[in-house]
Amino acid sequence: MPDLSDTARRSARDWLTILARYREPSTRRSLLELAVTLVPFFVLWALAWMALSVSAWLALALAMLNGAFLVRIFIIQHDCGHGAFFKNRQAQDWLGRALGVLTLTPYDVWRRTHSIHHAHHGDLDRRGIGDVLTLTIEEYRARGWFGRLMYRLYRHPLVMFILGPSYLFLLQNRLPFGLMKSGWRYWTSAMGTNAMIGIAIGLIIWFGGLWPVLLIYLPTSLIAATLGVWLFYVQHQFEETHWSKGEDWQLHDAALEGSSHYVLPQPLRWFSGNIGIHHVHHLYSRIPFYRLTEVIRDHRALAEAQRLTIRESLASARLHLWDAAQGKLMSFKEARARYGVA
């Protein structure tokens, strides 16, 4: 990845003052982004429902396309959680809770676990909540055969990108995992969201039977879940990401160096709400998603840092273990060849 002189001169902390200029959301722009996301989403839902009387395959195709709009809905919910969508915190919290019914994600639970992810990303001493489990070479070697097998299964693409997203959004999100003993607020968030999801599914079945659920609701949700997990994965799981521990870990360095700039073409950049500009987002999470493009337009150093193309991102699916000695992620195959780790 490019080592630009501008990046070398400025530390991660130095960038904070610069990025603060982009933090203010525009209420008019936020409402526009909300409208151009929700209106097509519900229109496609209606078209898919009407298509059921013509062709189940057409309805399924429309539902799968709508998964891209649901990803964008999640990005808006994500911005609400960071306090980056409206100036009024209460308004964006309630918007986030409402959108959480569509994304199958209890807002208050997710906001807390995601804040933990931001606060401890790249810290080997504080892993486990809101991130992709990543073992070091030493940790993997110390496991027994069953522990290694479980980790290999967890990191397998079929589990990580197909089964995992379904489990995460359909099952795990139904309970406040990670916050089970943290108070009634998170249980209320999870159970309240579950109740609204149940009502929505009940109404769908009441008016249309099971087919709209099976051919529209579930495909839209699962496509969005799979795309979302893939985006989250490549934003942090790339070869030269940043992991450290103890006194070597520093929040802002980990945010900037441990997050990728996933370079996506249009319209993928639009559907993903510019979340590929993840190194900037992690360094200053209060920047609205629609202003992230301004940052890389104005600062070439950030535009070129941690760039990851779609082709390069595919290779990241084969990275599994953190090699602290070399400061990079490597595959099981590389670990076996270099360290004899089976």
Nearest of 276, 265, 270, 285 to residue 303 by alpha carbon:
276
Could you state, in order of their start, the residue ranges of all structural domains in the chain? 5-133+156-318
Instruction: Give, as one character, the DSSP assignment of residue 262.
Output: E
Instruction: Look up the pTM and report it.
Output: 0.94
The answer to whether the beta carbons of residues 302 and 279 sit under 8 Å apart is yes
Query: Residue 8 pLDDT > 60, yes or no?
Result: no
Render pLDDT for 47-76 as a digit per residue (tens, 0 to 9).
999 999 999 999 999 999 999 999 999 999
Phi–psi pair at 328, nearest 5 degrees: -155, 160
Can you tell me the distance from the alpha carbon of 31 to that of 37, in angstroms, rounded to the nearest whole number? 10
Query: Residue 4 pLDDT > 90, yes or no?
Result: no
Alpha-carbon Rg for the chain in angstroms: 21
- What are the CA-CA distances from residue 208 to residues 65, 204, 211 (Å)? 21, 6, 7
Omega before 267 within 30 of 0, i.e. cis? yes
> Which SS3 state, helix, strand or coil, does residue 128 take?
coil
pLDDT given at position 9: 52
pLDDT given at position 12: 84
Query: Residue 162 pLDDT > 80, yes or no?
Result: yes
Query: Residue 5 pLDDT > 60, yes or no?
Result: no
Q: At what angle do helices 184-208 and 89-103 cross, to 10 degrees?
A: 50
User: Binning pLDDT at 50, 70 and 90, where does residue 342 land?
Assistant: confident
**Residue 325 CB-density burial (10 A; 0-12 exposed, 13-18 middle, 19+ buried):** exposed
Query: Residue 6 pLDDT > 60, yes or no?
Result: no
Render pLDDT for 192-239 as a digit per residue (tens, 0 to 9).
999 999 999 999 999 999 999 999 999 999 999 999 999 999 999 999
Can you tell me the distance from the alpha carbon of 109 to that of 169, in angstroms, rounded to the nearest whole number? 13
Render pLDDT for 302-317 as a digit per residue (tens, 0 to 9).
999 999 999 999 999 9
User: Binning pLDDT at 50, 70 and 90, where does residue 10 land?
Assistant: confident
Helices (H), 258-325: 268-271, 278-283, 292-298, 300-304, 310-316
Nearest of 232, 254, 239 to residue 321 by alpha carbon:
239
Can you tell me the distance from the alpha carbon of 199 to that of 29, in angstroms, rounded to the nearest whole number? 31
The mean of the pLDDT values for the chain is: 94
Render pLDDT for 80-130 as a digit per residue (tens, 0 to 9).
999 999 999 999 999 999 999 999 999 999 999 999 999 999 999 988 788
Mean pLDDT, rounded, for 161-185: 96
Query: Residue 133 pLDDT > 80, yes or no?
Result: yes
The 3-state DSSP composition of the chain as helix, strand, coil percent (nearest 5) reads: 70, 5, 30
pLDDT given at position 252: 92
Can you tell me the distance from the alpha carbon of 146 to that of 341, in angstroms, rounded to the nearest whole number? 14
Nearest of 314, 321, 221 to residue 262 by alpha carbon:
314
**Residue 63 CB-density burial (10 A; 0-12 exposed, 13-18 middle, 19+ buried):** buried
pLDDT given at position 253: 92
